[in-house]
Amino acid sequence: MASNGDDFTARLMDDMDPVLLDFVKTKVNSFIKWDLVRFFHENPHTADTVENIAKYAGRNVSAVEPELEDLVENGIMTKTQLNDTTIFTLATDDEMRSLVDKFILACEDRHFRVKAVYHIIRGMR
Amino acid sequence: MDRVKTGITGLDDMLGGGFLPKTANLVEGAPGTGKTTLGMQFIYNGITQFNEPGIIITFEEFPKQYYYDAAAFGWDFQELEKKGLLKVIMTSPEVSKLGVESVGGLLSQHIQQMDARRIVVDSITHFGRLTQDPIELRSLEFNFINALKREELTCLLTRESPVLLGENTEDAGIGFIVDSYIVMRYVEIESAIRKALFVLKMRGSDHAKDIRQFDIVANGLEVQARFEGQEGILSGSPRRMADSFVKAFVKR
């Protein structure tokens, strides 16, 4: 019975736009990434070091750095080297920007947020 | 001579028509005097009245806050960003310094993409994070300002003054580097706080020498008349001038 209940929950939680479902499962698959994506969506021309971005996000550098690297890997962020300094910015790719816009817009719906939280927690297990 | 108009009521008159093109202009004031509003208005009017795209660099306030504050004056910054006429860039002094000093740096890319003509740096005070040495700081600020001028931008730099009322005694080495220097001050008159503005310096141009009142109204900053019948405005607590003196010299 418990297994059936889990299946039902999983089906219910998967009931969202497949593009966004994939985005949550594979790209914004942690709460830090979610915070970072929201921050860069609200402040889209931010260009700064990991130390300063961590400060803006109110988190530790050691926690933020690997998440930023993942976002770069997944094409959401861009990394630029200026002398010895690494600078992170939101990717300018139109398709990626519109996907980020779509995700943030979807987050305004409480049901979507609950589903996204579910997938992030499951992914972290 | 060409002028870069701020479009701010009363201010362009004080500046002899506006800032000189491709110059660095400092606006100094205590918290809440309206430095950022003046900067936003300079950029907004540049885009909407004079067809000059602009950039705002912020070292502390989140761009989201600028969008919100601008909207209160009816200025839709997000729409201007969508049209490619404005960019509000959040960064740090070290990154922005590298961004203008390196070939193809991030800031240079933005400037070229947008054909930006105006820039606001809010605030230059944050360069103090880069060094404790005043000589090195002056050199850093000088190099940064020169890099912006090389990009042919007319710059407005804000500077925080820690003094709420009265004269600022803090060293303002940057005052020697910039081309013009506008000071905003709180003044206490008859148990009310009013705001005063004056142009301390303007290289290569005449400018108004009087101290004027200003206010932040529904559509931004508005420079009004000079303070009549008051002396010692810069002390923050002016005195009423003797009636006989006012009659003889001021109200003629």
* B232 min Cα distance to partner chain A (Å): 42
The span from the CA of A50 to the CA of A48, in Å, is: 7
pLDDT for B5 equals: 97
ipTM score for this prediction: 0.72
Q: Give me B23's structure tokens.
A: 């110059």
By the CB < 8 Å criterion, does A80 face chain B? yes
Distance of CA B40 to the CA centre of its chain: 9
Question: Strand pairing of B24-29 and B180-189?
Answer: parallel
Residue in B closest to A83 by C-alpha = B98
Q: Which residues in chain A have Cβ-Cβ distances shorter than 8 Å to B94?
A: 49, 85
SS3 per-residue string spanning chain A: CHHHHHHHHHHHHCCCCHHHHHHHHHCCCCHHHHHHHHHHHHCCCCCECHHHHHHHHCCCHHHHHHHHHHHHHCCCEEEEEECCEEEEEECCCHHHHHHHHHHHHHCCCHHHHHHHHHHHHHHHC
The span from the CA of A76 to the CA of A57, in Å, is: 17
Residue in A closest to B89 by C-alpha = A45
Domains, chain B: 11-250 (3.40.50.300)
Give the pLDDT confidence of B38-53 residue by residue, as tens digits: 999 999 999 999 999 9
Name which of A48, A82, A89 is nearest B105 (Cβ-Cβ). Answer: A82
CATH value at residue A46: 1.10.10.10
Chain position carrying tokens 């005694």: B169
pLDDT for B139 equals: 86
pLDDT for A1 equals: 45
Q: What's the rounded mean pLDDT across residues B18-37?
A: 94
Tell me which residue range forms the domain holding A21: 2-124
Residue in B closest to A81 by C-alpha = B105
Indicate which of B55, B68, B90 best probes the interface with A, i.e. most A CBs within 10 Å of its own CB. Answer: B90
Q: Binning pLDDT at 50, 70 and 90, where does residue B251 land?
A: low
Whole-number mean pLDDT of chain A?
A: 88
Q: Are A44 and A93 in contact (CB under 8 A)?
A: no
Number of domains, chain A: 1
Does A125 score more than 70 pLDDT? no
Give the pLDDT confidence of B112-149 residue by residue, as tens digits: 999 999 999 998 888 888 888 888 888 888 888 988 88
pLDDT for B174 equals: 83
Of A27-36, A60-69, B178-187, B228-237, the least confident: B228-237
Does A124 score more than 60 pLDDT? yes
Give the pLDDT confidence of B166-202 residue by residue, as tens digits: 666 566 678 888 999 999 999 888 788 889 999 999 9
Percent of chain A at pLDDT above 70?
90
Name which of A44, A56, A82 is nearest B98 (Cβ-Cβ). Answer: A82
pLDDT for B104 equals: 62
Does B164 score more than 80 pLDDT? no
Q: Which of B98, B120, B124 is nearest to B109 (CA)?
A: B98
* A104 min Cα distance to partner chain B (Å): 15
Does B107 score more than 80 pLDDT? yes
- Mapped onto helix, strand or coil, the DSSP state of residue B168 is coil
Whole-number mean pLDDT of chain B?
A: 87
Of A108-122, B7-21, B217-231, B236-250, the least confident: B236-250
Does B29 score more than 60 pLDDT? yes
